[in-house]
Chain A
């Protein structure tokens, strides 16, 4: 039987996945918060195209460096998500939710990468593009990040369901983790309001549509990374003996 206590490779792999989560948050803070002007927003959905160009041109070097950090951060969503799916898989006889989670995490990673792509293109040659085209890049970045509620919210629900549906003692993560995921999913919902508003708290620079989903999302990554760290340290949930697979390396 391979449990986390006698499978050192699994423990190291889970540690790696948990650290992918921690590093994704740290790289985002460097790229998106300190340098990139994504949160707090440097730009304003209600500004004129010329104002967009002015603000971007004034901050070109840091926006470019920020895009690289954001690219790294978002690419880490893949290994972070795969770790959650791997732990879910250990509790399934016939895997279903672990596969669904993989699909969602891959989708989430790609959409998030598009945010970094748009941010990079925005700072590529703002002086050459027409101002309204420059304006479209941050619009696109925030739409990828915020308007994608069913993708990122769905991912959280797909993590919560196998926990809540599991029989007692066979949950991949503690039950409160499921509720934290459902809460996170609900917090992403205001993101869809950005389509309807260009000013105020529901626009893509606003408190309700930007800050609540962003804080919830990166907070969620941190919580799930902690949950994975616990699994890696053998203090997380372990599958009952009938579910533990027999490995070749005993």
Chain B
């Protein structure tokens, strides 16, 4: 059994034991797999930076607004903090506070999507698109694949919020909550590397 279940005032409260994998093994298979593929993407981008088109990459990178990237990083990190607090609440004192933390996490995710849309929109309006050059091809495609992860993550967070609202949180609910949170942290982690590769290098 992954969690110890304690009855307090009619509520089932779960807290992790020492030998505890957050979520379940399967989600970590998924995380490891996704990290492997993104590692390959990162190599593709890094090769572009240092290849024959280094000049074009440097010029194109300069047109990106670093602060838009910083804001998005801030939004995802804050979202992850809310989600982590929510998981902690679910494990200790089960209350509606947990689901509010997840709602705040979802809000951060939505703001990320809005900010990304403005950023992309701003580029497309001035005629910059994936066909412009290799830098923007990588930029749109890889941040697009990441955006897909954000959409999936938002769906997962809705499931997590749903599970956190149950009257009693059972072992399976904790598993769902932890697995979902793990996925959201993955989305965050991937963005941090993409941010560094596109905006900072």
Residues of A bordering B, CB below 8 Å: 168, 174-180, 182-183, 186-187, 189-190, 193, 196-197, 200-202, 207-208, 212
The reply to whether B25 and A176 form a contact with Cβ atoms under 8 Å apart is yes
* B11-61 interface with A by 8 A CB criterion: 24-27, 29-30, 33-34, 37, 40-41, 44
- Additional 11 contacts, C-beta under 8 A, given A176-B29, A183-B34: A168-B172, A174-B26, A175-B26, A177-B26, A179-B26, A180-B26, A182-B30, A183-B29, A187-B37, A189-B145, A212-B40
> How close is B136's CB to chain A, nearest CB, in angstroms?
12
Residues of B bordering A, CB below 8 Å: 24-27, 29-30, 33-34, 37, 40-41, 44, 130-131, 134, 137, 141, 145, 148, 152, 172
Measured CB to CB, the nearest residue on chain A to B24 is A175
Contacts of B130 in A (CB 8 A): 196-197
Interface of B is mostly: helix
A179: which of B29, B37, B152, B172 is its contact (CB, 8 Å)? B29
Q: Which 8 A-B pairs have the closest CB atoms?
A: A179-B26, A176-B26, A179-B30, A183-B33, A175-B26, A183-B30, A179-B29, A176-B29
Give bound CA distance, A180 to B30, whole Å.
6
Interface of A is mostly: helix
Q: A176-B26, A186-B34, A208-B44 are in contact. Are A200 and B148 (CB under 8 A)?
A: no
Contacts of B137 in A (CB 8 A): 197, 200, 202
Give bound CA distance, A182 to B24, whole Å.
15
The reply to whether B41 and A208 form a contact with Cβ atoms under 8 Å apart is yes
Give bound CA distance, A190 to B140, whole Å.
12
Give bound CA distance, A197 to B137, whole Å.
9
Contacts of A208 in B (CB 8 A): 41, 44, 141
Give bound CA distance, A190 to B137, whole Å.
13
Could you name 18 residue pairs across A and B whose Cβ atoms are closer than 8 Å?
A: A174-B26, A175-B24, A175-B25, A176-B24, A176-B26, A179-B26, A180-B29, A180-B30, A182-B30, A183-B30, A183-B33, A189-B148, A190-B141, A197-B130, A200-B134, A202-B141, A207-B40, A208-B141
Contacts of B30 in A (CB 8 A): 179-180, 182-183
Contacts of B141 in A (CB 8 A): 190, 193, 202, 208
> How close is A177's CB to chain B, nearest CB, in angstroms?
8
> How close is B131's CB to chain A, nearest CB, in angstroms?
8
Contacts of B172 in A (CB 8 A): 168
Give bound CA distance, A68 to B134, whole Å.
38
A212: which of B25, B29, B37, B152 is its contact (CB, 8 Å)? B37
Measured CB to CB, the nearest residue on chain A to B44 is A201
Give bound CA distance, A201 to B37, whole Å.
14
Contacts of A177 in B (CB 8 A): 26
Question: Which one of B25, B30, B145, B172 has the highest number of Cβ atoms from chain A below 10 Å of its Cβ?
Answer: B30
Give bound CA distance, A164 to B13, whole Å.
23
Contacts of B34 in A (CB 8 A): 183, 186
> How close is B160's CB to chain A, nearest CB, in angstroms?
14
Measured CB to CB, the nearest residue on chain B to A179 is B26
Contacts of A193 in B (CB 8 A): 141
